[in-house]
Chain A
Amino acid sequence: MAQARTTSRSDGQGARIGSAARVRGRIHGDGDLLVEGQVEGDLSLRGDLTIAEGGSVKSKAVEAQSVTIGGTLEGDVSASGPVRLVAGAKVRGNLRGSAVAIDDGARFSGQLDCAFDLPAELGGASRNDGSARGRPATRR
């Protein structure tokens, strides 16, 4: 999945940063983005973001529809769709998405923030319940 491939949108909307390329700056717009090289900067996409194995993104803010990571990511991710870390991924940062999947073999450290409610017996709906615990600085 996280292998080199051509831009997924055939309408040419998206972008692909090749393995020999480095971008330093902000990337935004419609379409998907496939990162096989190195990107340093914020990403704001209305499409899907894929970081291929070997690709790396260092960012303060990554926004996309869905996010699939097979390479390295350092930064916070906010996706409207699912976020998925496949084996080989190395991610440090806080992830938010409709669902977050972490495959065995992916390495991750950071906050996960999925939207859901606990059953009533455990406190039910409360967004305050988890957010106060386990900030990255907190090591117990």
Chain B
Amino acid sequence: MASTVIGAGITIEGEVTTDEDVVVAGTLRGKLSAKEGVTIEHGATVEADVTGGSLVVAGALTGNVTAAERVDLQQGSRVIGNVKAARVTIADGAQFKGNVDMDV
């Protein structure tokens, strides 16, 4: 279980910073910065720049993403923003608009 979980009914407006991992199933507007994995679940709404060790997105994300390792945009995800990571996967059915930079 993730160390920090923002459930479906919760909205955070501001900055979230953690040394561990985060799962967002609710709403986050602001900034998200984690040292480990970030998961944005289906149904989640994130309007923030996101930094993490790795990132898995199944929900809606508007903002720039930077991951140390990899970024996975899953089916059903909707991402608007630039993605920068060593590896990027965009699944069939994911909607994405932005730049991809794998030149890390």
A and B touch in the complex (CB under 8 A): yes
Interface residues of A (CB under 8 A from B): 6-7, 9, 11-31, 33, 37, 41, 45-47
- Tell yes or no: B102 within 8 A of A by CB: no
Interface residues of B (CB under 8 A from A): 1-20, 22, 25-27, 30
How many A-B pairs have beta carbons closer than 8 Å: the answer is 92
Q: Secondary structure of the B side of the interface? A: strand
A42 to B100 Cα, complex, angstroms = 36
Interface centre among B6, B10, B15, B19 (most CB of A within 10 A): B10
Does the CB pair B12–A14 fall under 8 Å?
A: no
**Interface residue from B15, B25, B27 paired with A12 (Cβ < 8 Å):** B25
A25 to B29 Cα, complex, angstroms = 9
A21 to B5 Cα, complex, angstroms = 10
Does the CB pair A20–B20 fall under 8 Å?
A: yes
Residues of B within 8 A of A37 (CB): 4, 18
Does the CB pair B7–A12 fall under 8 Å?
A: yes
B53 to chain A minimum Cβ distance, whole angstroms, is: 13
B58 to chain A minimum Cβ distance, whole angstroms, is: 14
Does the CB pair B9–A18 fall under 8 Å?
A: no
Does the CB pair A26–B14 fall under 8 Å?
A: yes
Residues of A within 8 A of B3 (CB): 16, 18-21
Does the CB pair B14–A15 fall under 8 Å?
A: no
